């Protein structure tokens, strides 16, 4: 299964995301999910970034929150709305929103 | 003279819901409450950002450009402009690795007040002194 997960919150969705796995897994951080890609809580990156997955973060949602490219973890690719559409149609079979 | 302190606790991050915005705008609205009170009475709102709520205080928010809504940054600046006391938990800022130089400042709008970064023990005192607490 090629699964893409939209992570749209900071704290409340992590338990579910941690348990999900797929042959090909992608996490797209949007809305308040962008804090997973940027915030180092107690000096540590989000544990979601330890998953065997590809990571993306939406540039518009970063900018809305006053965050910049420099804040983004190196494991995460910054994408725009057009890129997200391409990911949905070309890279993954199933899409879920958490 | 009877002045009542009202504590506003903002603990939710920005934009996922309107919660934190409502907290700030609700506090600003207390500026006009005085006209409804008797002489000698007053209400002083104190706004405290704790936990994920401190994420509302990062400057440079582009909410109008991307979402078409007034940014929380604008609301916080307006709150400072009308001389509200806004406190940001020092420990939570440090926990999330946010330096104080990234916080919102309303100096460009002519505000005298600034966001005050204080340890949680100070926020606890504010909460203790508040007659009412509103959590957002």
Residue A19 has pLDDT above 90, yes or no: no
Residue B3 has pLDDT above 90, yes or no: no
Q: Average pLDDT of B39-57?
A: 92
Q: Average pLDDT of B9-29?
A: 91
The ipTM is: 0.74
Q: What is the DSSP letter of A75?
A: T
- Closest CA of chain A from B42, distance in Å: 35
B50-104 confidence digits (pLDDT tens) = 999 999 999 999 999 999 999 999 999 999 999 999 999 999 999 999 999 999 9
Burial class (CB in 10 A: 0-12, 13-18, 19+), B63: buried
Mean of pLDDT over chain B:
92
Residue A97, pLDDT score: 87
Share of chain A above pLDDT 70, in %: 98
Which carries the bigger pLDDT value, residue B33 or residue B22? Answer: B22
Contact A64 B67 (CB under 8 A): yes
Confidence of residue B1 (pLDDT cuts 50, 70, 90): low
The CATH H-level superfamily of B2-135 is DsrEFH-like (3.40.1260.10)
Share of chain B above pLDDT 70, in %: 99
Structure tokens at B130: 């508040």
Length of chain B: 136
Strands lying side by side in the sheet with A2-7: A76-79, A54-58, A24-29, A2-7, A94-97
Chain A neighbors of B59, CB-CB under 8 A? 66
Q: How far apart are CA A14 and CA A33, in angstroms?
A: 10
CATH of A2-97, one of 3.40.50.2300, 3.20.20.60, 3.40.50.11810, 3.40.1260.10: 3.40.1260.10
CB atoms within 10 A of CB B29: 10
Residue B60, pLDDT score: 96
B66, B81 Cβ separation under 8 angstroms:
no
- Which pTM was predicted? 0.85
Residue B102, pLDDT score: 97
Domain ranges of chain B: 2-135
Facing residue for B62 by CB, picked from A8, A31, A64: A64
Contact B13 A10 (CB under 8 A): yes
Q: How far apart are CA B17 and CA A10, in angstroms?
A: 12
């Amino acid at each position: 299964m090629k699964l893409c997960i939209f992570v749209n919150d900071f704290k409340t969705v992590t338990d579910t995301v941690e348990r999900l796995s797929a042959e090909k897994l992608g996490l797209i951080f949007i809305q308040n999910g962008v804090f997973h890609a940027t915030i180092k809580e107690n000096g540590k990156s989000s544990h979601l970034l330890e998953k065997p997955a590809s990571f993306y973060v939406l540039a518009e949602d970063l900018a809305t929150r006053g965050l910049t490219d420099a804040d983004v973890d190196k494991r995460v690719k910054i994408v725009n709305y057009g890129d997200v559409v391409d990911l949905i149609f070309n890279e993954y079979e199933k899409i879920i929103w958490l | 003279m009877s002045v009542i302190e009202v504590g506003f606790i903002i603990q939710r991050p920005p934009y996922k819901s309107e919660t934190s915005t409502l907290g700030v705008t609700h506090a600003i609205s207390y500026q006009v409450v005085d006209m409804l009170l008797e002489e000698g009475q007053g209400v002083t709102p104190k706004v405290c950002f704790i936990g994920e709520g401190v994420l509302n205080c990062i400057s440079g928010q582009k909410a109008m450009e991307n979402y078409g809504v007034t940014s929380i940054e604008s609301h916080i600046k307006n709150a400072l402009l009308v001389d509200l006391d806004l406190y940001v938990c020092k420990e939570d800022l440090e926990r999330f690795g946010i330096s104080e130089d990234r916080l919102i400042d309303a100096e460009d709008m002519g505000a005298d007040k600034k966001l005050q970064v204080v340890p949680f023990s100070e926020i606890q005192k504010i909460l203790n002194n508040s007659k009412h607490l509103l959590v957002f």
